[in-house]
Amino acid sequence: MASTILELDDIQSGVLRPRPTPYAATYVLFRIDDAKAGRELIGRLSSVVASAAHPTSPASDTWVSVALTFQGLKALGVPQASLDSFSPRFQQGMAARAKFLGDSGESSPEKWEKPLGSLDVHVVVTAIARDTEHLEAAMERARKTYRELQGVTAIWRQDCHVRPDEKEAFGFKDGIGHPAIEGTGLPCSNPNERPLKAGEFVLGYSDEMGDTPSIPQPEILGRNGSYVVFRKLHQRVAAFRQYLKENASSAEAEELLAAKMMGRWRSGTPLALCPMHDDPALGADPARNNAFLFKQDDPIGYKTPAGSHIRRMNPRDADVAGVVSIHRMIRRGTSYGPSLPEGVLEDDGVERGLMFAFVGAHLGRQFEFIQSEWMNDSAFFGGAAGKDPVAGASDGTGSFDIPRRPLRKRLQGLPQFVVTRGGEYCFLPGLRALRWLAELKT
Ligand code: HEM
């Protein structure tokens, strides 16, 4: 079988490149009021975006990604025929897809943080550096590139970070499981899973369905691009801790319950390999902490419940409705806000959570499918009504089953621990496409 030749030198490094640990990151959103100024901004930014072939940033200690919303492409003056060639979901934008994503009640777009989900969000710039000092220095350099541009305005900024222990706000180590992708040369986090076709993540290549799906036109614009989803997800850490306390009889039982909900102990150790106790050395070992499947060893979910977060988000080889390989994603999560001090069970009213980012070639069968069928429904594994116990859009009526002998444990009345504060569907163009956009003459 011929291996995929990926044009790594045309793909933004943010798509494929593993990130440093720890790191500081920032999201800056821009509104374009003048197409010419917008193109100038894209041109200037394109010179600091590194490619996946040479991941070292031209700014040497920062890595920048540039993505555009559909409204952003319009504001740059991209011709109508080209606009029409983008994914219909991308054209609608995330706020319009709220119903499918489970963004209702407190998560509904009317309640989102402004300007998220509005027609004003055009360009999304993400910068990453190894610490806040380097990030701030890079942002100061970046500010100079857009400050004197009339007709382009920075309208929102969200700083975030990955802690040295890589733990997110609920206290679990994050950033462990990633799909391997043909042609990237990057190692697989799970030696038992085969690399997926590059077309699942980068436009212009053959995918797991065996075809090369149509890409946004003209070719130079679509090829080597990806769709990106970012979501600001508020985490109710005190409520999560309280729930564990109320539903477990001891500190050890609380940790086991937390692990059953996630599918991993807080150290990252998978229940699949260590079901009865934590093993922090295993959790910290990238050669072992994702080396497992479910079907043969744990078909029922006695170790890792079928309804747990990681088994929902990637059922691996388990018997579920559909084909798992067409519903995978590149995932980047960074925390925002301060940690809730250990042991605090009362909400302190402080904003904290996860800036979740998805990268893939298919908004529909990847991000939206996972969000609606796997996260907010249980039919795919034949489970009782209930949603993802950690990140699902629960409303207090769902349940979570923990299989065990002789009788399963069923947790009732799961509250909502994660609230959507807003987000956007974006297109992350290849480097040639960025220059094409910068040179548009319409
Ligand atoms: C605040 C909300 C969320 C939290 C706290 C959270 C936390 C975690 C943690 C701790 C892991 C295990 C570590 C790892 O494998 O990297 C994980 C895995 C994962 N999460 Fe989330 N997550 C959240 C939201 C989401 C959302 C919205 C999606 C997708 C729509 C998602 C998709 C995944 C996937 C695909 C995996 C890897 C599963 C695997 O391959 O085993 N997560 N998450």
Residue nearest to atom 41 of ligand 1 (CA): 310
- 311 CB within 6 A, ligand 1: no
Average pLDDT over the chain, rounded to an integer: 94
Window from 67-81, 131-145, 268-282, 392-406 with minimum mean pLDDT? 131-145
Between residues 17 and 290, which one has the greater pLDDT?
A: 290
Residue-wise pLDDT tens digits, 142-198: 788 788 899 999 999 999 999 889 999 999 999 999 999 999 888 789 999 999 999
Ligand 1 pocket: which of 314, 331, 334 to mutate (most atoms <8 Å of CB)?
Answer: 331
pLDDT of residue 3: 61
CA 61 to chain CA centroid, Å, is: 23
32 has a pLDDT exceeding 70: yes
**12, 66 contact by CB (below 8 A):** yes
Region 388-410 average pLDDT: 93
**Distance of CA 408 from the midpoint of ligand 1 (Å):** 25
- 235 CB within 6 A, ligand 1: yes
Residue nearest to atom 25 of ligand 1 (CA): 391
Give the angle subtended at the CA of 162 by the CAs of 161 and 164, to the nearest 5°: 130
pTM: 0.97
61 has a pLDDT exceeding 80: no
- 227 CB within 6 A, ligand 1: no
Residue-wise pLDDT tens digits, 305-353: 999 999 999 999 999 999 999 999 999 989 999 999 999 999 999 999 9
- Residue type at 33 in one-letter notation: D
Separation of alpha carbons 389 and 241, rounded Å: 13
Residue-wise pLDDT tens digits, 238-291: 999 999 999 999 999 999 999 999 999 999 999 999 999 999 999 999 999 999
The string of DSSP codes covering 376-436 is: S--GGGTPPS---TTTS---S---EEE--SSS-EEE--PPP-EEEEEEEEEEE--HHHHHH
The string of DSSP codes covering 310-336 is: HHHH--TTS--SS-GGGS--EEEEEEE
**Distance of CA 310 from the midpoint of ligand 1 (Å):** 6
pLDDT of residue 2: 47
**Distance of CA 174 from the midpoint of ligand 1 (Å):** 7
- 170 CB within 6 A, ligand 1: yes
pLDDT above 70 covers a percentage of the chain that reads 99
- 230 CB within 6 A, ligand 1: no
**Distance of CA 152 from the midpoint of ligand 1 (Å):** 34
Region 39-55 average pLDDT: 91
pLDDT of residue 144: 80
Separation of alpha carbons 420 and 106, rounded Å: 8
Region 375-386 average pLDDT: 94
- 259 CB within 6 A, ligand 1: no
- 175 CB within 6 A, ligand 1: yes
